[in-house]
Structure 1
Amino acid sequence: MIKFFFSSVLLLLSWCFISVNKVQAQVNFHEMGKWQDSLLRLEGQIKVLQSDAERLEKNFVFVKTLVSSLKERHAYLFNFDKLSSITVLRSPDDSFRIFSWNIDLNDGSYLYYGAIQRKTKDGKLSLVPLLDKTFEIQKPEEALLSPDNWYGARYYDIQPLGNAYVLLGWKGHNADYTQKVIEILHLQNDQFILGKTLFADQPNSQRRIFNFSKQASMYLKFDRPQERLIFDHIVPANSSFTGNFKYYGPDLSYDAYLLKGGKLLLKSDVPFANAPHADDNSAIIPGQAIPKMKSGL
Structure 2
Amino acid sequence: MILILLLSRVFAQQPVVANNINQLNTYQDSLKKLGNEFVHNQNDLERKNANYAFIKTLVTALKTNNSFTYPFDSLKTISLTQSPDNKFRIFSWHVANNDGSYRFYGAIQMNTSGPLKLYGLEDYSPLIKNPEDTVADNRTWFGAQYYTIVPVMSIKPYYVLLGWKGYTDKSTKRVIDVLSFKDDKPVFGMPIFEGNNKKRSRVVFQYARQASMLLKHVPAQNLIVFDNLAPPDKRNKDQPETYGPDLTYNGYQLKNGKWTYVDNIDMRNIPNEMDEGYVDPRVQQQQTRPIKAEPARQKRVQ
Give the TM-score taking structure 2 as reference length.
0.81
Deviation string for 1:171-226 (max 9, x for gaps)?
A: 01011110000001111122210000111216541100000000101000011122
Deviation string for 1:244-280 (max 9, x for gaps)?
A: 12210111001121122111111111111486xxxxx
2:283 aligns to what?
none
Q: Which amino acid aligns with 2:175?
A: V
1:210 aligns to what?
205
Q: CA RMSD in A?
A: 2.2
> Following the alignment from structure 1 to structure 2, what is the Cα–Cα distance between the partners of residues 290 and 59?
30
1:155 aligns to what?
146
Identity, in percent, stands at 37
**Corresponding residue SS for 1:28:** helix
1:291 aligns to what?
295
The higher relative CO (CA closer than 8 Å, separation ≥ 6) is in 2
> Following the alignment from structure 1 to structure 2, what is the Cα–Cα distance between the partners of residues 48 and 179?
22
Structure 2 residue 162 is matched with structure 1 residue 168: yes
**Shift, 1:227, TM fit:** 1.6
**Shift, 1:84, TM fit:** 0.8
1:102 aligns to what?
94
**Shift, 1:105, TM fit:** 1.3
Structure 2 residue 261 is matched with structure 1 residue 270: no
2:133 aligns to what?
142
1:238 aligns to what?
233
> Following the alignment from structure 1 to structure 2, what is the Cα–Cα distance between the partners of residues 94 and 204?
30
Residue of 220, 227, 230 corresponding to 2:222: 227
**Structure number with bigger Rg:** 1
2:175 aligns to what?
181
> Following the alignment from structure 1 to structure 2, what is the Cα–Cα distance between the partners of residues 292 and 72?
49
Structure 1, unmatched stretches of 5+, are 1-17, 276-287
> Following the alignment from structure 1 to structure 2, what is the Cα–Cα distance between the partners of residues 217 and 237?
15
Stretches of 4+ moved more than 3 A in 1? 24-27
Structure 2, unmatched stretches of 5+, are 1-9, 273-291, 298-302
Q: Which amino acid aligns with 1:168?
A: L
Give the TM-score taking structure 1 as reference length.
0.83
Map residues 84-123 of structure 1 onto 2, 5 A cutoff: 84-122=76-114
Residue of 165, 188, 192 corresponding to 2:186: 192
Do the aligned residues in 2 keep the contact of 1:249 with 1:290 (CA within 8 Å)?
Answer: no
Do the aligned residues in 2 keep the contact of 1:27 with 1:73 (CA within 8 Å)?
Answer: no
> Following the alignment from structure 1 to structure 2, what is the Cα–Cα distance between the partners of residues 228 and 241?
30
Taking structure 1 as reference, are residues 27 and 267 closer, same or farther at Cα in structure 2, changes over 3 Å only? Answer: farther
